[in-house]
Structure 1
Amino acid sequence: SGREMKLLRDFWDKQGRILLLLDPSTQTPKLRGFVNELGIKVNDDRLMVFVRTGIEELAMTRDVQAHFLGDSPITKRLADVRALFFGGTSSLTLEPDRVRAASIRLEPLIQAEKGYFAEKDYNSDDQVKLQTDAKQSNNVPLTIGAAVEKGGSADQRVQLNSSRLVVVSNSTFVQDNAITQDQQGLDFISGSVNWLLSREQLIGIAPKIPKPLTFSLSEEALRRLRWILLVFIPLVPAAIGTMVWWQRRV
């Protein structure tokens, strides 16, 4: 409501500290307008990616695998650690030049992995259209979390009072059913709260960086694999059976 937004702005102007987890499926134009005033535009889109589930099969998922950037004290010890953000996630556009005159500094914290695209027609079930949009995406880094600071000092060694805000365009990654064994989401929230309270020295040590084993095949390699699976492997028992049958006849 208008009254709630006035209270929020007054709190911010009085060097308030805010942790904001946005649900993209919820219509909150006034709250998004407040964030936009601070130089962060919450885009009306959803992050998606197509993953290969077979030789010629693709599946689309809205769950976002993202990594933390190490330039902020919030995520310095989480640099390059990956986490899953389940459910809908929208992209954030940071416009630091627009708010620099107001002594507002922006810092990206979380970006989606390569391959994700921001789909504006996110309610569509047309797989052909979605695949076309994915191919036409320009593969720019998609930010889903950022920090805002008004006032203070850019030098981390200098402690001055300031207004601080952390915003993430996903509100489900810290729910009980979304927390993974490594708990990267909880580490991020803990670091965010400590930064908001000017307790940077209490930001904990991050978990070890996972290194998943991945490989990719070119179209030529996929064709060869198809021949091996569909032709040569079935021919082996057929050839053995033919040899056994021939030996028994002679």
Structure 2
Amino acid sequence: MDTAPRPGLRERKKQRTRDALVRSALELFAAQGYERTTVDEIVEAVDVSQRTFFRYFAGKEEAAFAVQEMAESHFLDAVRRRPPHEAPLDALRRAVMAGWDTIGEAIEAIVPIELHMRTYQLIESTPALLAIHLRRHEALEEQLARLIAEREGIDVDADPRPRVAVALFGGVMRLAARRWGAGDDFSVAAMRELTASYLDQTGPALIENWHTRDGSGHRDAEEAQGDFAPITPTET
């Protein structure tokens, strides 16, 4: 049972103002581009002052990443809640899948989920935002590596495995996000399905031989022998 005290009226009003600024910013970024959107336009849409905006955000880039930051915190919490017996990559995979299943309500309290998903495309197509995103991604990976090391009871600075596992996981996630952004279906379901399919290929990509296999998934003896067949000169 949640026993956390409910925020007071002042805090709730501040949260509503912040949420309204985030939604205004993302709507304007999506409609006319990040670079062409000014803080003046964002605050005008909410009917507040620039001073109010800068009370919540250092600049418009912080507003651009506000919902994503919430989603990242949600994911980190999901990793912390995974059972300790799960292997690190399995815990990360299950946490991200659970995150997609549960984050929607929290996001939609601020912006429509479709707008949040469109923000991914905006970030990938805007050099200034992409640079920030990559720095943020690196910081998130370090947090995850330390979290995994803590779960496993090892020293993250002495044992490279946590950072290696997280780098692998993060690379797959980045690839899935890029492929999703290049497609035609921008729904959460599409992102979730694509993410799952790419994560499913992590093991095979690392440990399997990629040569053609028969229907059972194994190479037959004749095919395997062909790898080592002598090369004979072609008759002319």
**TM range, normalised to the smaller chain?**
under 0.3
Tell which has more relative contact order, 1 or 2 (C-alpha 8 A, sep 6+).
1
TM-score of the superposition, structure 1-length normalised?
Answer: 0.21
State TM-score, norm by structure 2. Answer: 0.21
Which has a greater percent of helix? 2
Higher strand share: 1
